Structure 1
Amino acid sequence: MALAPAYAVGHKLLSGGPHTLEIFLDYTCPFSAKIWRALQSQVLPWLKTQPVTVIFRHQVQPWHPNSTLLHEAALAVEKINPSAFELYSTALFENQNQFFDEITVNQSRTTIYKQLAVLATSVNAVNDSVAVLQMLDIQPVATAEQARNVGNAVTSDLKYHIKLARAQGIHVSPTVVFDGIRDDSVSSSWGLEQWQAWLSPKLTQSQQ
């Protein structure tokens, strides 16, 4: 499936075409973190020489309440510095346990946003955490009558990605889609050999 131009720099992990490999991930999912590490350390370096474009897709899972906040933060970072999206994604996966339910249950949404903004500066994804917070900011109001529930500066972006995942019938993370077809056989436990065994026949079809 195509990638909207607004996300082409950050979400496109490799631009090798003509095949497309989409990886649907949740920043608060341990299995997503596991497959991300394999992709970064083994699979993407191999795929650099293959005829395939690799796209990061958001899969926000509501049973992980902080998932929305982490994905919002990633989208905010991309708006500020598109080339740092992948770097910040790695930071989110490597620090995901800081945002698990048990450690954040007594923290406010704003407090978590601040932690995410600090994380962005700590890995040099952005120069100023305030810029990230401005993207995530929701101004409080005094009464329910004043509330409009309009979200923040990345709400429309998050809606786009959620609608895209729903349109493709994605239910859990990680989920892998190759050339528009979901394949639930792909496992977060795979190493390079399993990825090569699964992908190589698909990639060579276009060369025959």
Structure 2
Amino acid sequence: MALQPSLRSLIIAGPIDAPHTLDFFVDYICPYSAKLAKAMETSVKPLIAPNGKYGGKVKVIFRNQVQPWHGSSTFVHEAGLAVARVSPENFWPFSLKLFEVQQEYFDIPASKLTAVQIREKLAKLSATVLTEDQAAKVNDLLLLKSTPNGGTAVTEELKYTSCSPVKYSRQNGIHVSPTVLWDGLVAGDVSSSWGTEEWEKFFEQKVTV
């Protein structure tokens, strides 16, 4: 599944023209998604880095998987997309930071905050990886300031990244987060508990060029 040019920052590793594609559908407030994200950073990225064993052969695409039964899921994904627009190179660092503090956005902690307060909190979190000016731009993108039901400045990106994968998920039988696809097909054997050894074995079996 292609990405619109403005969302190329969701390719978090590997060259855009890599022959193989690893899609991972994750929610920022899913504990298992957090484990997989950590593995992507510590195990997968080194293997597919330019000087890695599979350098140039695999790209990894982050797929926003909003889980609407968690009230703050929409807000955290909005924040990720706002950072992607303001500072594309910091999308993945911010995503990792979000996964680190995900418990602050779980159902019970988030229930004590309004939607506006959650968005403000996320904008402040963005300042841990962005400049002060960039964080201010993220805050601006997360404000509700159009029509009474018009959403934020990144609502359209959220529709693209979330609604499209939902359809994509259906046709591929994706029901849980996280889910990994290899070249468009569900890789059901992938586990969020995998380390470098398991990922290296996976690539050894899957990379054919």
Distance (Å, rounded) in 2 between the aligned partners of 1:128 and 1:20: 31
**What residue is the counterpart of 1:37 in the other structure?**
38
Identity %: 40
Q: Give matches, 1:136-155, under 5 Å.
A: 136-139=142-145, 148-155=148-155
Distance 1:127 1:45, change over 3 A: farther
**What residue is the counterpart of 1:78 in the other structure?**
84
SS at match of 2:61: strand
Render the CA deviation track for 1:13-47: whole Å, top value 9, x for unaligned.
12341111111110000000011111111221112
Q: TM-score, normalised by structure 1?
A: 0.89
Distance (Å, rounded) in 1 between the aligned partners of 2:71 and 2:204: 37
Distance (Å, rounded) in 1 between the aligned partners of 2:131 and 2:83: 7
**What residue is the counterpart of 2:189 in the other structure?**
185
Q: Does residue 97 of structure 2 align to residue 91 of structure 1?
A: yes
AA aligned to 2:139 is: L
2:180 to 144, 154, 176: 176
2:124 to 118, 124, 127: 118
**What residue is the counterpart of 2:160 in the other structure?**
160
Q: Does the 8 Å CA contact 1:24/1:58 hold for their aligned counterparts?
A: yes
Q: Does residue 19 of structure 2 align to residue 15 of structure 1?
A: no
Any gaps of 5 or more consecutive residues in structure 2?
Answer: none
Q: TM-score, normalised by structure 2?
A: 0.89
**What residue is the counterpart of 2:204 in the other structure?**
200
Q: How many residues align?
A: 198
Distance (Å, rounded) in 1 between the aligned partners of 2:135 and 2:200: 39
Distance 1:125 1:196, change over 3 A: farther
